Amino acid sequence: MRTLYHHWLNPGCRVVRLALGEKQLDHDLQLEKAWERRTEFLRLNPAAVLPVLVEADDTVVAGHRTVLEYLEEAYPEHPLLPRRPGDRAEVRRLIDWFDHKFSDEVTRNLVGEKVDKRLAGLGQPTSAAIRAGLANINYHLEYVAFLTERRKWLAGDQLSLADLAAAAHLSAIDYLGDVPWVRHPVAKEWYVRIKSRPSFRPMLKDRIIGIAPAAHYGDLDF
Amino acid sequence: MRTLYHHWLNPGCRVVRLALGEKQLDHDLQLEKAWERRTEFLRLNPAAVLPVLVEADDTVVAGHRTVLEYLEEAYPEHPLLPRRPGDRAEVRRLIDWFDHKFSDEVTRNLVGEKVDKRLAGLGQPTSAAIRAGLANINYHLEYVAFLTERRKWLAGDQLSLADLAAAAHLSAIDYLGDVPWVRHPVAKEWYVRIKSRPSFRPMLKDRIIGIAPAAHYGDLDF
């Protein structure tokens, strides 16, 4: 069986779970506390970074960008990238946007401060960082709205890895109840669509010990 | 004509220049001070990140990972990725290694402190960061040696984007004279091979105003 080493609110792990779901590829989840640097885990990925996918034939694929490209190449059915190189570049530009800009400005300030620090025993959240994250998320939700007013999905007329990357970050923040959906109805309309997909369902049942999800987290009609 | 918006010691820009060279794709270089957030540049890439490639047909491709994947797809001749998905994953794992681990532990501490801060007017270099960079580079050069003792090139028996990514970072640090080649003869043997390639030649003539390169920077017999 295919195994994904993951942690619950890690957006790189979430985007891979969504991609596996869209491609209908069965997999076991193995919870990994990467910060503990377990020897067996370092053997799989010396960079000690999640996620790591291990195939039934023992092929090891480390890092979410690498896993996403690998899944497209190894399992081309249910494509999550368009066909033309220029269109594929637009999808990857948006993955970069969420991996770097959104992550630095929003995810680290919210999930990083409230969850990652606590799990890894790195002290108390910094309130200035949380305030920055809560402010920054608004202009990113405006960007989601800007894109989906011009296109059906974030990178074009087909669902793509760009949508999954955005949803991976936003769903982790939504677990904490920190997405101001009510002020961003256009972005919310896009999120409702992606949240309703079967690939999303397993994630909506996630429960982290000691950190309860927001009341609406698993609710499709929120 | 194809145009690459770049800055001299930015490793993402360097890896794309090397890939364009390996694929023998002519291009103009356009120096961009991304930190100035020029309006016309933000129109090309709202994330304000280098590099950006603009094709003769006005296709815009932003971000080095995206440009590298685009070049493989649009110009499959002179491939820089192997064919099997598992082998491609190993190349991308190593690109990740240099983009994240090497960058955070070495490049930011050396190029970031000595060059980027100065160019962007962000104050003096921090000596503790420089000391950390100079210490950390040693174990990364050992990793390069570990890999090339087992394979001809970093990710396998063919030159790949992994070699170009590693060389992009190391060449920027070598411009500053901060690579302790004499203590790492196996890594040096690999670097001599890649530095001798025609794709490398234009980069060896780079000269940044106000920052002279190390004496051996352009020398193939160093």
Q: What is the pLDDT of residues B49-98, one digit of tens each?
A: 999 999 999 999 999 999 999 999 999 999 999 999 999 999 999 999 99
Check whether domain A85-204 has CATH 3.40.50.2300, yes or no: no
A197 Cβ under 8 Å from any chain B Cβ: no
Q: What is the pLDDT of residues A46-62, one digit of tens each?
A: 999 999 999 999 999 99
Residue A222 has a pLDDT of 87
Contact B88, B97 (CB under 8 A): no
- Residue A72, token pair as written in the block: 């497209």
Within chain A, which residue ranges are assigned CATH 1.20.1050.10? Answer: 85-204
Give the residue carrying structure tokens 């940044």: B208
A89 Cβ under 8 Å from any chain B Cβ: yes
- pLDDT band for A96, please (50, 70, 90 cuts): very high
Question: Cβ contacts (< 8 Å) between B65 and chain A: which residues?
Answer: 65, 92, 96
Question: Cβ contacts (< 8 Å) between B82 and chain A: which residues?
Answer: none
Question: Cβ contacts (< 8 Å) between A60 and chain B: which residues?
Answer: 89
Residue A33 has a pLDDT of 96
Long-range contacts, stretch A93-96, CB < 8 angstroms, 24+ apart: A93/B45, A93/B47, A93/B61, A93/B62, A93/B63, A93/B66, A94/A147, A94/A154, A94/A155, A94/A162, A94/A165, A94/A166, A95/A65, A95/A68, A95/A161, A95/A162, A95/A165, A96/B47, A96/B49, A96/B62, A96/B63, A96/B65, A96/B66
Asked if residue B51 has a cis previous peptide bond (ω within 30° of 0), the answer is yes
CA–CA dist A130, A136 (Å, integer): 10
Please name the amino acid found at residue A137: I
Contact B106, B169 (CB under 8 A): yes
> What is the average pLDDT score of chain B?
97
CA–CA dist A50, A148 (Å, integer): 30
CA–CA dist A189, B178 (Å, integer): 52
Provide the CATH topology of domain B85-197.
Glutathione S-transferase Yfyf (Class Pi); Chain A, domain 2 (1.20.1050)
A44 Cβ under 8 Å from any chain B Cβ: no
Average pLDDT for A127-151: 98
Within chain A, which residue ranges are assigned CATH 3.40.30.10? Answer: 3-74
Q: What is the pLDDT of residues B177-190, one digit of tens each?
A: 999 999 999 999 99
Residue A131, CA atoms < 13 Å, CB-side half-sphere: 3
**Residue B222: pLDDT above 90?**
no
> What is the average pLDDT score of chain A?
97
| Cβ contact, residue pair B97, A47, below 8 Å | yes
Q: In this structure, what are the phi and psi dihedrals at residue A62, rounded to the nearest 5 degrees?
A: -115, 135
Summarize chain A as % helix, strand, coil (round to 5): 55, 10, 35
Distance from CA of A123 to the nearest CA of B (A): 22
3-state secondary structure (DSSP) of residue B172: helix
CA–CA dist A217, A56 (Å, integer): 33
| Cβ contact, residue pair A96, B61, below 8 Å | no
**Residue A152: pLDDT above 90?**
yes
- pLDDT band for B137, please (50, 70, 90 cuts): very high
| Cβ contact, residue pair B66, A89, below 8 Å | yes
Sheet with A52-54: strands ordered across: A28-31, A3-6, A52-54, A60-62
Q: Are strands A3-6 and A28-31 parallel, antiparallel or unpaired?
A: parallel
Average pLDDT for A158-183: 98
Q: How many C-beta neighbours within 10 Å does residue A12 have?
A: 22
**Which residues are A30's β-sheet partners?**
A5
Pick the CATH number of A3-74 from 3.30.460.80, 3.40.30.10, 1.20.1070.10, 3.20.10.10: 3.40.30.10
**Residue A209: pLDDT above 90?**
no
Residue B210 has a pLDDT of 87
Residue B158 has a pLDDT of 97
Share of chain B above pLDDT 90, in %: 96
Residue A221 has a pLDDT of 86
- Mutation test of the interface with chain A: which of B53, B66, B140, choosing the one with the most A Cβ atoms within 10 A? B66
Chain B: residue whose CA lies nearest to A54: B86
- pLDDT band for A210, please (50, 70, 90 cuts): confident
Chain A: residue whose CA lies nearest to B96: A63
- pLDDT band for B221, please (50, 70, 90 cuts): confident
Average pLDDT for A118-145: 96
